[in-house]
Amino acid sequence: MLRIYQRMAQVNWAEQWQYRANLFMYILYGLVTPIVYIAVWTSIANAQGSVSGLTANDFIVYYMIMLLVDQVTGETVIYNFVYKIQDGSLSSEVILPVHPLLTRTLMNNLAFKVMTTFVLIPVWILLSLLFQPTFASVTLTNVLLAIPSLIFGFAINFLLSSTIVCIAFWTTRVWALYRLYGIPVALFSGQFVPLQLMPKIIQTMSIYLPFQLFKYFPTQLILGNLSTHDIILGYSMDIVWLVVVYIVFRFAWRAGLKQYTAVGA
Amino acid sequence: METLKLIRSFIKVNVEMSLAYRSEAVIEFLLDIMWLGWELLSLQIIFWNTQSLGGWNKGELIALMGVLTMVNTFMSALIWPNTEFFNSAMHDGSLDYMLLQPVNSLFLVTFSRISIWRIADLIVAIILIVTGVNLAGEIVTPYNMLTFLLLIISGSVVLYSLWLVLIAFTFWFTKFDNNVTILQALTDTGRYPVTVYPWWLRIIVTFIVPIGLATSIPVQALRGDLNLQQVIIFLAVSIITLLISSQIWRLGIKRYSGASS
């Protein structure tokens, strides 16, 4: 099994290396929004000293760390899987004795991640020089404490998107669905503002929803902004959601595959 | 006259094509409305924490959102579909036939595809602008209104010129299929006034990818912040960029025919 993953990783690396010019453009997409948010919130924080206790530096550090968290927990499943269902090229993959999504697509995601990291790091350093934040609250303990949450975050994010991708077995409108999925992510993940600035009801809901597990939770862990109670609650949510999402995904995949064979026959 | 006839037939063809995608259009429109709800909420969150953003109040930012929606409509009705059309025509060689036709190539590459349904978003844009201006409590003089409209058009012309240069680059660098990404990625910066951005981002969105020219500047004209001289400069800039970019397009076309033979 490990050798399968190794081989898939090699193939994907070689495949994607051809498109390295496109990498920068891909990175650019992810960069614009956090930079805009940094600009907006630092301009407010600077004008009034602080926003609900958060200083300009707090905002810069929050978005800068979230950029890195996103890099680890982000996924690209929809971009490299939906078309396989739609043009039928999935057929040659399902006859292999390995799971198409959980091996090839997963490795494709990871290879892409490693490659974009090489582009992101210099850009990230440049941004640090421009915004000049002080990362005083980031300690080694915090980072170590956050590592499992990053793995959980990626797994949950990947499986959630994979479940949405499975809907492509039934409908061609999966891209519209993906755009719809972006709304709860925007509301509950903490990507727009640190969640304490959101309305109370959204704050409470986001604790129990999976979306903050791949953005807000790891970011705040790294920044050391969480109490022991928050950390235990967050990790409990990680475990619960990973199990739930995995079961839902298995179910959607099996049902979808039946549907797919029916169309293909 | 010839051109008008052509535009009319282009519209007719595109309406017929779009009719096949009615339900998609409705879904897209509903999604746009839902995202708009989120944008308004995020604006509200900002204004729970401050009275003004970069010297602008909430109403002005809603008006700005309306202008951005307008620019986005222009992009998604005309620019993005034609980019896709151009890129695939370049890819499969059908561009050769396009260039052989006795019509200005610039015209063909701009108007071949029109996503008719996107125009529904214009209504949303106008509602946002009117609501925003009312909320800001501003008295809009006819002069301000006129300069506002002119500057939206001239700003869009500048963006169009940039687009033209970007796709013309494909003639030099064939593997450049991400040609418009920089334009797409930076459009979102138009959501906030350029005055909130740090100096380097302000330079980018004013001079390099001038989203600000099509969003912040027109709203400034609506507020009456711009004098006549400034308005004339902005209009002149748009004409000059259009002339330069169409020259670059022409050079690109020449290069293309040279390469294919």
Q: Which residues pair with B56 in a beta bridge?
A: B53
Quote the CA–CA distance of A33 and A45 in Å, as a whole number.
18
Measured between CA atoms, the residue of chain A closest to residue B186 is A32
Q: Which of B28, B178, B196 lies nearest to residue A43, judging by beta carbons? A: B196
In the predicted structure, residue A212 carries a pLDDT above the cut 90:
yes
Quote the CA–CA distance of A140 and A145 in Å, as a whole number.
8
pLDDT digits (tens, 9 = 90+) for A56-76: 999 999 999 999 999 999 998
Question: Which amino acid is present at A16?
Answer: Q
In the predicted structure, residue A21 carries a pLDDT above the cut 90:
no
Instruction: Provide mean pLDDT across the span A228-251.
Output: 96
What is the overall mean pLDDT for chain A? 89
Q: Which of B23, B31, B170 is the best substitution to test chain A (most A C-beta atoms within 10 A)?
A: B31
Measured between CA atoms, the residue of chain A closest to residue B27 is A176
In sequence order, the 6+-apart residues with CB closer than 8 A to the CB of B47 are B53, B58, B61
Q: What pLDDT is attached to residue A17?
A: 65
Measured between CA atoms, the residue of chain B closest to residue A173 is B24
Residues B167/B180, Cβ–Cβ less than 8 Å: yes
Q: pLDDT band at A135, cuts 50/70/90?
A: very high
In sequence order, the 6+-apart residues with CB closer than 8 A to the CB of A71 are A113, A116, A117, A120
Q: Look-up: residue for tokens 């998107």?
A: A161
CB-based contact, B36 to chain A, within 8 Å: no
What tokens were used for A193? 């503002």
* A/B interface, count of CB pairs below 8 Å: 76
Residues B63/B223, Cβ–Cβ less than 8 Å: no
Does the beta-carbon distance from A32 to B197 stay under 8 Å?
A: no
CA B41 to chain centroid, in Å, comes to 24
Of all residues in chain B, what percent carry a pLDDT higher than 90? 47
Q: What pLDDT is attached to residue B219?
A: 93
Q: How far is A195 from chain B (nearest CA, A)?
A: 11
Ranking A214-223, B90-99, B250-259 by mean pLDDT, the lowest is B250-259
Angle between helical axes of A216-223 and A140-166 (0-180°, round to 10):
180
In the predicted structure, residue A251 carries a pLDDT above the cut 80:
yes
Q: pLDDT band at B257, cuts 50/70/90?
A: low
CA B95 to chain centroid, in Å, comes to 24
Domain-wise residue ranges, chain A? 2-264
CB-based contact, A192 to chain B, within 8 Å: yes
- Chain B residues near residue A32 by CB distance under 8 angstroms: 185-186, 188-189
Question: Cβ atoms within 10 A of the Cβ of A48, count?
Answer: 10
Q: How far is B61 from chain A (nearest CA, A)?
A: 12
Q: What is the DSSP letter of B177?
A: T
Q: Using DSSP, state whether A54 is helix, strand or coil.
A: strand
Q: Which of A36, A182, A193 lies nearest to residue B188, judging by beta carbons? A: A36
Does the beta-carbon distance from A193 to B38 stay under 8 Å?
A: no
Does the beta-carbon distance from A180 to B54 stay under 8 Å?
A: no
Does the beta-carbon distance from B182 to A28 stay under 8 Å?
A: yes
pLDDT digits (tens, 9 = 90+) for B1-28: 777 888 888 888 888 888 878 888 888 8
Question: Which amino acid is present at A93?
Answer: E
Q: pLDDT band at A265, cuts 50/70/90?
A: very low
Does the beta-carbon distance from B31 to A32 stay under 8 Å?
A: no
Quote the CA–CA distance of B230 and A98 in Å, as a whole number.
65
Instruction: Provide mean pLDDT across the span B118-125.
Output: 90
pLDDT digits (tens, 9 = 90+) for A105-122: 888 888 888 888 988 999
Q: What pLDDT is attached to residue B11?
A: 84
In the predicted structure, residue B254 carries a pLDDT above the cut 80:
yes
What tokens were used for A172? 């061609």
In the predicted structure, residue B94 carries a pLDDT above the cut 60:
yes
Quote the CA–CA distance of B83 and B164 in Å, as a whole number.
10
Q: What pLDDT is attached to residue B261?
A: 42
Q: Look-up: residue for tokens 């409470």?
A: A204
Q: What pLDDT is attached to residue A151?
A: 96
Does the beta-carbon distance from A40 to B201 stay under 8 Å?
A: no
- Chain B residues near residue A39 by CB distance under 8 angstroms: 192, 196-198, 201
Answer positive or negative: Cα dihedral of A167, A171, A174, A180: negative
In the predicted structure, residue A25 carries a pLDDT above the cut 80:
no
CB-based contact, B145 to chain A, within 8 Å: no
In the predicted structure, residue B179 carries a pLDDT above the cut 80:
no
Q: Which of B38, B46, B189 lies nearest to residue A187, judging by beta carbons? A: B38
Q: What pLDDT is attached to residue A257?
A: 86
CA A100 to chain centroid, in Å, comes to 20
